Amino acid sequence: MSPQHKATRPVRQNRTGRGTATPKSICVTGGAGFLGSHLCARLIGEGHRVTCIDNFHTGRPANVAALARSNRFELVEHDVMDALPEQLPAFDEIYNLACPASPVHYQSDPVRTALICAEGAANVLYRAQRDGARVMHASTSEIYGDPEVHPQREDYCGNVNTVGPRSCYDEGKRFAETLFTDFAHQSGVVVKIVRIFNTYGPRMQPDDGRVVSNFILQALRGEDITVYGEGQQTRSFCYVDDLIEGFVRLMASGPEVDGPVNIGNPAEITVGELARIIIEMTGSPSKLVHRPLPVDDPRRRRPDITRASTLLGWGPRVPLTEGLEKTIRFFANLNQPLAPAQSR
């Protein structure tokens, strides 16, 4: 794929009717994935020039195919384990999302997962320093591990196993936070860190084994719904549009927003309840079946979003049933044969 820079169009109006005063050159690593594709769409909608860097490990060009019609969008096939291509334009902002994110994917090659968190982060930071770009790094609620403090505030240091099946991701993401923070202090590069809690919505990968995509696919096919353990573990699910709004606000924030910020929806439910809601919403004949709880599966998770709310004026707006409705519609309309849901 040619990494050539394309010309900028006049500023467009975004969805809220506001134009972007100064279009920026923005890089999104992992931009062809679930979250990245929504972020690219939002940034293009605001009139920016967007370079999406992805090696298609878990993402797909199809996720950003609609954006390719804009001459302000460029898709570059590249692995962030290597330095970002020299010939790309200088960036004003870099969003670093490149990393497999679901347990099925990140555990399939754990050494590589840990190294992407470290080397990918370093390559993004060196490029940001060269270009004078600010960076937003996608961290995760997984850095809290199986939390002993509930809900999780940013100053909670977590409870993470260093040598379990989730460690490649959890510890990789913890290391990346350290690297971004120290690099910012030493180099002056402006760094923002978002701790993302479980997010769902259209363009989730059907084969990545996450609970929302698994349950919806199973319900739509009338298959058994695979609840791991007793289904009493909790998660707090955020709709993707809400999360992306948080990303954009965090990137634009001033120096007072220093250190990681949780972005997630504090509405907490058990996995068993989620299964029952999805069965009801799809009108599915599916029954719940129980499977062993994966090792180190966190028992509960809910963000404290005080920082996001007070510093960014951010809060979730999309209730679970509304977000699930859109996600169910997405999976029901997939015009390709549905891949089997993955299990661990």
Q: Could you give the residue numbers annotated as active site? A: 169
Query: Cα-atom radius of gyration of the chain, to the nearest Å?
Result: 19
Asked if residue 242 binds ligand NAD (CB under 6 A), the reply is no
Residues 42-81 within binding reach of ligand UDP (CB under 6 A): none
Nearer to ligand NAD, 198 or 284 (CB): 198
Tokens of 34: 């679930």
Interacting partner of 262 out of ligand UDP, ligand NAD, none (Cβ under 5 to 8 A depending on kind): none
Candidates 294, 296, 326, 330: give the one binding ligand UDP (CB under 6 A). Answer: 294
Q: Which of 26, 27, 33, 215 is the binder for ligand NAD (CB under 6 A)?
A: 33
Answer with the entry of ligand NAD, ligand UDP, none that 214 interacts with (C-beta below 5 to 8 A by kind).
ligand UDP
Least separation, in Å, of the C-beta of 150 and ligand NAD?
Answer: 18
- Residue whose C-alpha is closest to residue 242's, from 155, 327, 128, 319: 319
Q: Minimum distance from CB of 331 to ligand NAD (Å)?
A: 15
Q: Is 208 helix (H, G, I), strand (E, B) or coil?
A: coil
Among 80, 250, 279, 328, binds ligand NAD (CB under 6 A): 80
95 binds ligand NAD (CB under 6 A): no
- Per the structure block, which two tokens stand in for 282? 């799809």
Q: Which stretch binds ligand NAD (CB under 6 A): 1-9, 155-163, 198-206, 293-301?
A: 198-206
**Up-side HSE of residue 6: CA atoms within 13 Å toward CB?**
18
Give the count of residues interacting with ligand UDP (CB under 6 A). Answer: 15
The single-letter DSSP state of residue 206 is T
Residue 32 or residue 128: which is nearer to ligand NAD going by CB? 32
Tokens in use for 67? Answer: 């954006």
3-state secondary structure 114-177: HHHHHHHHHHHHHHHHHHCCEEEEEEEHHHHECCCCCCECCCCCCECCCCCCCHHHHHHHHHHH
Measured distance CA(114)–CA(317) in Å, rounded: 34
Closest to ligand NAD by CB, 8 vs 110, is 110
- Tell me: does residue 99 bind ligand NAD (CB under 6 A): yes
Which residue number, 29 or 51, has a Cβ lying nearer to ligand NAD? 29
Neighbouring C-beta atoms of residue 287, cutoff 10 Å = 11
Angle at 274 between CA 167 and CA 303, to 5 degrees: 50
Query: Encoding tokens for residue 84?
Result: 């970002």
Exposure string for 259-283, b = 16+ CB within 10 A, e = fewer: ebbbbbbbebebbbebbbebbebbe
Binding-site partner at residue 36 among ligand UDP, ligand NAD, none, CB < 5 to 8 Å by type: ligand NAD
Min separation Cβ 161 and ligand UDP, Å = 14
Dist. CA 104–CA 109, nearest whole Å: 10
Task: Report the Cα–Cα distance between both ends of the chain, in Å, rounded.
Answer: 34
**For ligand UDP, which residue of 271, 308, 318, 320 counts as binding (CB under 6 A)?**
271
* Only segment of 59-67, 126-134, 206-214, 255-263 that touches ligand UDP (CB under 6 A): 206-214
Return the residue of 127, 235, 249, 302 that touches ligand UDP, per CB under 6 A.
235
Binding site for ligand NAD (CB under 6 A): 29-30, 32-36, 54-59, 79-81, 97-101, 116, 120, 138, 140, 196, 198-199, 205
Binding site for ligand UDP (CB under 6 A): 102-103, 198, 209-211, 214, 226-228, 233, 235, 271, 294, 297
